Amino acid sequence: MAVNGSFSCILQPNTCRPRTCSVRNYGNEPCFILRRHKGRPVLVQASATTDSVAAAKPPEKMRGALPVVGNFHQFKFSKLYKDIDDFHKQHDSQALEVSMFRRRSCHTRDPNDCAQIFRDAEVFPKSPDINVVSDWLGEGLATQSNIQKHAEMRRLLNPAFRQDYIKGLSPAFAEVGDRLADALLELGEHDIQDMAARATIDIIGRTGFRYDFGCLDLAMGRRRSGATVEAAGERLDVAKLFDQLVFGVSRIFAFSYFFPRREWIPGFSEYRAAIRKLDAVINSVLEERRRVGVDPEDRDLISYCLRAMEEDSGIMNDKQIRNELHTLLFAGSDTTANTLSWTFHLLSHRPEMMARCLQEADALRDHDGELSPALLNERLPYLTACVKETLRMYPPAPMLSRVCTKDTVLEGTRTLVSKGSMVTLDIWSVHRNPKHWVRPDEYRPERWLAEGEAEFGPILQEAFIPFGGGSRICIGMYFAIMEAQVIAAQVLQKVKFEPVPGFEPDAVMRMTLSSKNGIRLRALPRSSGDGRPSGQQTAATSV
C-alpha cells in the first residue's frame, strides 16, 4: 500500500491507545503502521510520512527455521559468518532475520546500514554478547559498553596511538620481523599463524609494555635468562595462553544456549585457570614498571595508564589498568598476526604477486641500510595493497553485534528494526557483496592502486570496514597496518614462501578470523633471482 501526502491517525482520541495501538518512532524517520481496532484494519501515523519511509519493511526471515530452535540447526558456530554469507548470495538478500531459540537478530551486509550503526552509537551500543569475554578482558576499551566511559578512556589512550609516535616504533617492528625471518628459515616448513602471533606479542611487549615476552625464543627452544615472563613460579608461554583463552571464549559462546550458568560449561575451570596465569603475567610486568618508574616523556600505553592513576583523574585504577593491558596485549597482536598469515598464504599461491612484493621489500632501505618509516607508503605500494586486500577478504572480525535501543529504520536497506532486537554487521559479507565490489571473491591487490582502482576498486568507500567505524573504530588501526607493512617487508627481504602441497587452511570465527588447522607454509631463503618479474602477472584466483 502506497501512502502519499500527510495523514492524521484515523483513530479517535483515547479509543484504544496505548493498549492496542502503540505508536512507534523509527529513529527520526516518519512511518505509518497498520493496526487492528475492533476487528478492522486502521492506519496509525507514527510521524509525518514520505513515500520512502512507507517502503520500509521488516527484514526477510531466513528460511528453514524450526519451532523453538529457529535457525540454530542450520549453522556451525565457527562458520556462522560463512553460512550467513551463503544465504545472502543464494537469495540475493541484503538484510535478513536469523532466529536462534528466543533470540532474533537482523543481519545486514549493506554498507550504508553499517555506517549508520557505527555512527549512531547511542542507538546501537555493544550487544550483551560482549559479556562472553568479561572474565578475561573486563571492561577495557574494546569491550566497554558505556558510551561516556568509552569516550573518556579513548581520550586518555589516544596519544599512545598517534601516527608520529607509531612511526618511531618501526625499528622495533623491523627487529622482531628480522628475528621472525630467521626463525622461519630455521624451521623450514611451519605454521606461520603461530609464528606471526609470537612475533606480534613480542612487539606489543616491547612497544606497549617495555617488556620482552620472548615468545619467538620459546618457540625456537631458546630460553634466555630474563627473556621470558616469570609468573607463579613457572615460565609461561603467552602465545599458548592466548590459544587456551580463545578456545575457552569460543566454547562459552557456543554452549551458552544450553547452559544457564557459564560455570557449568565444560572446560570453564581450565579457562579461568588460564586467565589467572595471564593475570600473573600482567601483574609482574606492571610491578616491574612501577619499580622502575615512569618518565614524563614516556609514551607507551602503561605510562599513560600509570600517569592517569597518579593524577587521580577518576578514569584509571588498578582494575582498569589490568583490563586495558589485557585488551591491548590480545587485540594488538592477534589482528596483525592473522593479517600477516593470510597475506603470506595468499601470496604463496601467486608467484607473480610474490615477486612484486619481494622487489619492493628490497627497495625499502635507505642509503645507510636502515629502515625508513617515511619510505613505507612510497616504496611499498603493492605490498600495502596486498595487506589491504587481505583485510578485505579475511577481516579480523567477520561479524560485529549491536543491540537496537529504539525502533529504527536502517537507511541502506529500508529495514525496520524494533527496540531490543540484535543487529549483526556481516563484515565478511559486506566485503564480498557483489553490489559494491567487482569480482569480490578474487584476490586483487590492484583494487587499491591507481592501475586497477577504476575497474576493481570499491564502488562505495563504506564497503571496506575491517576496523569498524564511528566512535568505536579500532584505536590501533594505524599501528596494525604499519606493523604489518614493516614485518612483511622485513621477512620478505630474507624469505620467500611456497605452499605446502595438499594443505588448505580452514578459516573459522573464534574471537577473530583464523585458521583452525593453522597456516602451513614452506619458508625458503631468497636467491639472487627472486623478485625479478618473469612475465605478465597471473590472473587473480578465487579464495
Could you tell me which residues are annotated as the binding site?
A: 474
Task: Please give the grid coordinates belonging to residue 204.
Answer: 606489543
What is the C-alpha to C-alpha distance for residues 152 and 493, in angstroms, rounded to an integer?
42
Pairing relationship of beta strands 103-108 and 189-191 according to DSSP bridges: unpaired
Which residues are 108's β-sheet partners? Answer: 95, 425
Q: Which of 86, 92, 138 is nearest to 320 (CA)?
A: 138
Instruction: Give the Cα separation of 302 and 325 in Å (integer).
Output: 8
Name residue 98's beta-bridge partners.
105
CA 353 vs CA 103, 218, 359, 533: distances in Å: 45, 32, 10, 9
> Cα torsion for 15, 20, 21, 27, to the nearest 10°?
150
Q: Reduced to 3 states, what is the DSSP secondary structure of residue 231?
A: strand
Judge contact between 336 and 487, C-beta under 8 A: yes
Contact 50, 6 (CB under 8 A): no
* Residues 469 and 119: beta-carbon distance below 8 Å: yes
Contacts of 156 by beta carbon, 8 Å cutoff, 6+ apart:
304, 305, 308, 313, 315, 316
One-character DSSP codes across 275-311: HHHHHHHHHHHHHHHHHH---TT--SHHHHHHHHHHT
- Own/partner contacts of 21-29, CB < 8 Å, gap of 24 or more, are 24/407, 24/418, 25/406, 25/407, 26/53, 26/56, 26/407, 26/408, 26/409, 26/416, 27/120, 27/123, 27/406, 27/407, 27/408, 27/409, 29/53, 29/56, 29/408, 29/409
- Where is the binding site for heme, in residues? 474
316 Cα distance to chain centroid: 25
The SS3 assignment for 425 reads: strand
The dihedral over CA atoms of 66, 68, 73, 78, expressed in degrees to the nearest 10, equals 140
> Strand 60-61's sheet: what is its strand order?
60-61, 95-100, 103-108, 422-425, 400-403
Contacts of 327 (CB under 8 A, 6+ apart): 137, 140, 141, 142, 143
| Residue whose grid cell is 495523514 | 7
